[in-house]
Amino acid sequence: MTAARPAAGRTVTAWRWIAMLGCAALVTACGGGGGGGGTAASQGTLRVALTDAPACGYDHVWVTIEKVSVHQSSSAAEADAGWTDLTLSPARRVDLLTLTNGVLEELGSTPLAAGRYSQIRLVLAGNSGTGSTSVANAVQPTGGPVIPLSTPSAQQSGLKLQAHVDVAAGQVADVVLDFDACKSIVKAGNSGNYILKPVISVVPRVVTGLQGFVTTTLALGSTTVSAQQDGVTLRTTVPDATGRFSIPYLATGTYTLVIASEGRATGVITNLPVGTSSTAINGTATAIVLPASSMADVTGTVSLVSTSGSGTVTTALTDAVVSASQALTGGPTILLSGQPVDSTLGTYRFHLPTGAPVKAAYTSPAVPLTFVADTAAAGKYSIKAEAPGRAAQTKPADISTGVSATVNFSYGP
């Protein structure tokens, strides 16, 4: 169901987040007009689907989607004219954890006047009800009860990202909203509550990507497979019960694959090409096996120190994000994990291998991967803290002896 909105006078009770794409090559640019109107000859179509990166430590993550809205202006306010809505009726409750390994939830399509669209809004329903099947947005920690997700008032107006979506006359622009549940759910101290701070990227729906197999002897429930470039994770998935993994929607280029699993050393495959179709890494007969490794924690806090009279006051910097990376001998640097700090305490925790990562260079699916242990990098990590409006801080963490490490970050006013 599609409708162009009136300019004002709407009462809004749903939660709204803005997901705006930073990918100019979504579809072929065509120029043209704007808005949701226009004749059939000047119209194209926007088709939208939802997927998810794996979530950390949860059995279920539910969100309920009411609509997807688009606008040509990146600065358009909610009451401005020019919006076009793709409305889901009734609103659709989706378990994000069922949308991994290339699985999509089709949200529908809407005709649009040809042109460039710079804002996409994913509109979620507000919470109501108390049962596990009636709370619109909820999380179930592994082995725990269903807990409603709350949202800070500052997030009601939306999470803004850069966008350039070109809709061509007579063509379909396919986009995928990649909802990163792992980074979107933040624990609220010891209250038992969780806050939803959505991290959403928009990617072109293309057939190119990476696929392969890991051995089913890995703890598949804890195994993640990520495609990275220059130490940045582009997309992440989890293998299915057969060990198969698929990472679609990757742009043409060369990637590094990073495989992480509980009780295992990290596996790294370099020089993976993505061209006009999906690249097969291996088959079931050559499924990737990772060596065993002990694990240890890197924990800490991110805090803000301010002056109060003649003394100082330390408070949690709760809008910080922390990541753990590892520099391999001869390259590359890989990202192991990233997470927002606790929304009340400003704390974080990474559970990382102490053993040496193993690395192999890809040649072709016909040539078995030969992994070599990088002993010099064993248990050595870099922890980075980032917060809006503040300089990033990076500190080393060494857990090679099997002893957990504490790395704290402190910012001045």
Q: What is the pLDDT along the chain (413 residues), one digit of tens a residue?
A: 555 554 443 333 343 444 433 333 333 333 333 345 555 558 888 888 888 877 677 888 898 888 888 889 988 888 889 988 899 999 899 998 888 877 889 999 999 999 998 888 888 887 765 555 668 888 898 888 898 888 654 344 444 545 678 888 888 888 888 888 878 888 888 888 888 887 888 777 777 899 999 998 886 778 999 999 999 998 888 898 899 999 988 889 999 999 999 999 999 999 999 987 889 999 999 999 999 999 999 999 999 998 877 788 899 999 999 999 999 999 999 999 999 999 899 999 999 999 999 999 999 888 999 999 999 999 999 999 999 999 999 999 999 999 999 999 999 86
Q: How far apart are CA 59 and CA 247, in angstroms?
A: 21
pLDDT of 295 reads 97
Nearest Cα to 234, choosing from 374, 53, 110, 99?
A: 53
Q: Which residue has the tokens 């004749």?
A: 39
In whole angstroms, how far apart are CA 297 and each of 255, 261, 277, 294?
Answer: 28, 14, 39, 11
CA 35/CA 270 separation, integer angstroms: 44
Alpha carbon 186 to its chain centroid, in Å, reads: 14
Q: Burial of 270 by CB count in 10 Å (0-12 exposed, 13-18 middle, 19+ buried)?
A: middle
Token pair, residue 45, equals 């179509």
Which amino acid makes up residue 396?
Answer: P
Residue 308 structure tokens: 């109060």
Q: What is the pLDDT of residue 152?
A: 58
Give the integer Cα–Cα distance in Å for 288 and 257.
Answer: 12
Q: Residue 5 has what pLDDT?
A: 56
Distances, alpha carbon 95 to alpha carbons 51, 135, 204, 273, in Å: 10, 12, 22, 32
Integer Cα distance of 233 and 226 in angstroms: 6
- pLDDT at site 4: 55
Cβ-contact 84, 1 below 8 angstroms: no
- With contact defined as beta carbons under 8 Å apart, do 360 and 370 qualify? yes
Tell me which residue of 366, 372, 209 sits closest to 283, measured CA to CA: 366
With contact defined as beta carbons under 8 Å apart, do 100 and 237 qualify?
A: yes
Task: Quote the strand ranges of 169-317, DSSP E.
Answer: 172-180, 185-188, 193-196, 200-204, 209-213, 224-229, 232-237, 244-248, 253-260, 267-274, 279-280, 295-308, 311-316
pLDDT at 200 (0 to 100): 82
How many angstroms from the chain centroid is the CA of residue 394?
A: 22
Predicted local confidence at residue 360, as pLDDT:
97
Distances (CA, A) of 132 to 56, 91, 100, 146, 185: 20, 16, 21, 6, 17
- Whose CA is closest to 321, among 338, 298, 301, 343? 338
Question: What SS3 state is found at 161?
Answer: coil
Report how far residue 369's alpha carbon sits from residue 377's, in angstroms, rounded to the nearest whole number: 20
- What does the alpha-carbon distance between residue 69 and residue 215 come to, in Å, rounded to a whole number? 42
pTM > 0.75: yes or no: yes
Hey, is 226 helix, strand or coil?
strand
pLDDT at 362: 96
Of 158, 175, 243, 188, nearest to 23 by C-alpha is 175
